[in-house]
């Protein structure tokens, strides 16, 4: 470990963890995950779980994590829906009525945050259109979203992913691909795309915990989302090789991680080594 990396690791007070490919794969928890989380607690380092997937609510993810063997509280989960809520509150406080392309879980979370969701009707006018990962997408609602976007309503996307990873024999069309269809139909790009790699997602977590960027490590298996977001936000970017990206990918990427670890177990060792005496 170089002295500079050691010095930067010593500053880390919170670890933001991508989920699929980092702490588990599909429905299988990696054998080192809980030991790593326990090690963070022993070192006095907090942690949160981050995901771009807006099809599930915070409560859904807490249940999912519990099902695969990870104990988590709601405040430890941060999704692109939450990033969207915080973005709206901070930059568009006038927006109270949303036309949403999203699941019932996403809709419930938005309503719980105080937003009114408009119906698929030209007479029920929204202040903005928010597109998420809508696994129950209906054609009429896609058309209505395009209509409101064409009328000049703010056009927001919860995250940029074009497809959602799956080991099933299908392609899961995600938010970015739906936004591409809306762009072609309405002639406009989204006004804002939240979620990784947008640094506002990580800044929301920094604000929640009262931390400076150099006190946060973003850990994930994707260079163009996890590592790139860390770079944009000024956080410490860690690539783990348990998911999508390979070592060769990292060598060729414009988004260079600050540290490459085989897995979370190695990262835990590195963090412990940077804190001798603990």
pLDDT digits (tens, 9 = 90+) for 163-191: 887 778 999 999 999 999 999 999 999 99
Q: Is residue 1's pLDDT more than 70?
A: no
Distance (Å, whole) CA 49 – CA 32? 16
| Superfamily of domain 3-52+197-273, CATH level 4 | HAD superfamily/HAD-like (3.40.50.1000)
Distance (Å, whole) CA 272 – CA 152? 52
Q: Is residue 3's pLDDT more than 80?
A: no
In the chain, what are the domain boundaries? 3-52+197-273, 82-193
Query: Could you confirm whether domain 82-193 is CATH 3.50.50.60?
Result: no
Q: Nearest to residue 48, comparing CAs of 25, 18, 28?
A: 18
- Stated pTM of the model: 0.90
Distance (Å, whole) CA 125 – CA 149? 11
Name the least confident of 76-90, 163-177, 189-203, 262-276.
Answer: 163-177
Q: Edge to edge, what strands does the sheet with 192-193 contain? A: 116-117, 97-101, 128-131, 155-157, 192-193
pLDDT in tens, 226-268: 999 999 999 999 999 999 999 999 999 998 999 999 999 999 9
Structural tokens at position 143: 């058309």
The pLDDT value recorded for residue 9 is 97
Beta-strand relationship, 236-240 and 46-51? unpaired
Range 9-17 average pLDDT: 97
Q: Are 3-52+197-273 and 82-193 the same fold in CATH?
A: yes
What percent of the chain is modeled with pLDDT above 70?
98
- The contacts of residue 53 (CB under 8 Å, 6+ apart) are 79, 80, 133, 159, 161, 164
CA distances from 160 to 163, 166, 210, 237 (A): 9, 17, 27, 20
Q: Is residue 106's pLDDT more than 90?
A: yes
Name the least confident of 82-91, 153-162, 167-176, 218-227.
Answer: 167-176
CA geometry: angle 158, 159, 163, nearest 5 deg: 125
């Amino acid at each position: 470990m170089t002295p500079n990396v050691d010095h930067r690791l010593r500053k880390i007070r919170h670890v933001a963890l991508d989920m699929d490919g980092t702490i588990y794969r599909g429905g299988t928890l990696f054998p080192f995950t809980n030991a790593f989380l326990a090690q963070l607690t022993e070192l006095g380092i907090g942690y949160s779980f981050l995901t771009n997937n807006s099809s599930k609510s915070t409560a859904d993810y807490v249940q999912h994590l519990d099902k695969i063997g990870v104990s988590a509280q709601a405040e430890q989960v941060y999704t692109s829906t939450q990033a969207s809520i915080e973005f709206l509150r901070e930059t568009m406080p006038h927006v109270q009525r949303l036309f949403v392309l999203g699941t019932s879980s996403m809709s419930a979370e938005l309503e719980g945050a105080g937003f009114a969701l408009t119906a698929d009707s030209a007479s029920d006018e929204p202040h903005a259109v928010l597109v998420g990962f809508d696994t129950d997408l209906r054609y009429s609602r896609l058309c209505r979203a395009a209509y409101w976007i064409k009328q000049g309503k703010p056009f927001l996307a919860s995250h940029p992913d074009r497809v959602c990873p799956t080991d099933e024999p299908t392609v899961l069309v995600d938010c970015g691909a739906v936004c591409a269809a809306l762009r072609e139909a309405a002639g406009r790009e989204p006004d804002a795309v939240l979620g990784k790699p947008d640094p506002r997602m990580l800044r929301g977590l920094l604000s929640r915990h009262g931390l400076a960027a150099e006190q946060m490590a973003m850990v994930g298996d994707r260079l163009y989302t996890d590592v790139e977001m860390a770079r944009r936000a000024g956080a410490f970017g860690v690539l783990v090789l348990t998911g999508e990206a390979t070592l060769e990918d990292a060598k060729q990427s414009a988004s260079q991680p600050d540290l490459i670890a085989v897995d979370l177990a190695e990262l835990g060792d590195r963090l412990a080594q940077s804190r001798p005496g603990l």
